[in-house]
Amino acid sequence: MIRRIALPALVLAVFLVAARSVAWLAQAPAPEPQLRPDLIEIVKLEPTISLDIRYATPNNFTGRAVYKQARAFLQRPAAEALVRAHRALKEQGRGVVIWDAYRPWRVTKLFWDLTPVEKRDYVANPKEGSRHNRGCAVDVTLKDLKTGAELAMPSAYDEMGEAASPDYPGGTPEARANRDLLRAAMEKEGFRVRFNEWWHYDFRGWEKYPVLDLEFSEIGK
């Protein structure tokens, strides 16, 4: 189960609406001269990669859908690297499942506003923008290609605690082995895991891309 912020449902609903309004009115950090964005929809490169876009559903730490579409984009070099990792894992009967990839800046602002101060190590500060906003971060897990089931991991997605660390020594041996298999495949292709989230991977060169605030429906237009 996903661990959600402990707020009564009505209070959370009211706060979410207010926070979303503030986030949508705020402005993203102005980008400096960098590489030209080239966001590509990942499943167009590799249709066998699975999507479980949690922020397009209520099954996330906010308890509400914050995306209008269940789609996943990355800058082209990052997308190509992810595809290579997926294809290597397929040889072991495993496949990549994407929980999140490119994220509009306004959603990062919303997450920051919704997250208690003591948990903000798990969300990006909108003043700098996140690596997700640059199209160079992806949240992933693994599935069994025979059964289609997501593999056991030491923590749930977006769990804000010790078990989310990529070096957490607890959990079952199977869960740790799955986590470490994912990490090895991703790091081989130029990704680096976030220090406190085993599912979050940043692609090398992320800092060269601007912070973006495009809706999914605007990409490619």
Strands 94-100 and 137-144: antiparallel
pLDDT digits 0-9 by tens, 177-220: 999 999 999 999 999 999 999 999 999 999 999 999 999 999 97
Q: Where does the pLDDT of residue 32 fall: very low under 50, low under 70, confident under 90, or very high at 90 and above?
A: low
Active-site residue list = 197
Computed over every residue of the chain, the mean pLDDT equals 89
Task: Count other Cβ atoms within 10 Å, centred on residue 173.
Answer: 7
At 20 the pLDDT is 52
CATH tag, 38-218: 3.30.1380.10
Find the radius of gyration of the CA atoms of the chain: 17
Both structure tokens of 212: 């973006």
Task: Work out the angle between the directed axes of helices 76-90 and 173-188 (0-180°, nearest 10).
Answer: 130
Q: Are strands 73-75 and 137-144 parallel, antiparallel or unpaired?
A: unpaired
Q: What are phi and psi of 215, to 5 degrees?
A: -70, 155
pLDDT at 7 over 80: no
Domain boundary assignment for the chain: 38-218
**50-59 pLDDT per residue, tens:** 999 999 999 9
Min mean pLDDT across 29-33, 41-45, 132-136, 180-184 is at: 29-33
Q: Could you tell me the pLDDT band of residue 12, with boundaries at 50, 70 and 90?
A: very low
Residues 213, 210: Cα–Cα separation, whole Å: 10
In the chain, the percentage of residues whose pLDDT exceeds 70 is: 85
Place of tokens 């909108």: 126
Mean pLDDT for 129-158 is 97
Residue the block writes with tokens 């237009």? 221
pLDDT value, residue 6 = 45
The answer to whether the CB of 159 falls within 8 A of the CB of 199 is: no
**What pLDDT shows up at residue 201?**
98
H-helix or E-strand spanning residue 197: strand 197-203
Question: Which residues, including other chains, have CB under 8 Å from residue 94's CB and lie 6 or more apart?
Answer: 142, 143, 144, 145, 151, 181
pLDDT for res 140: 98
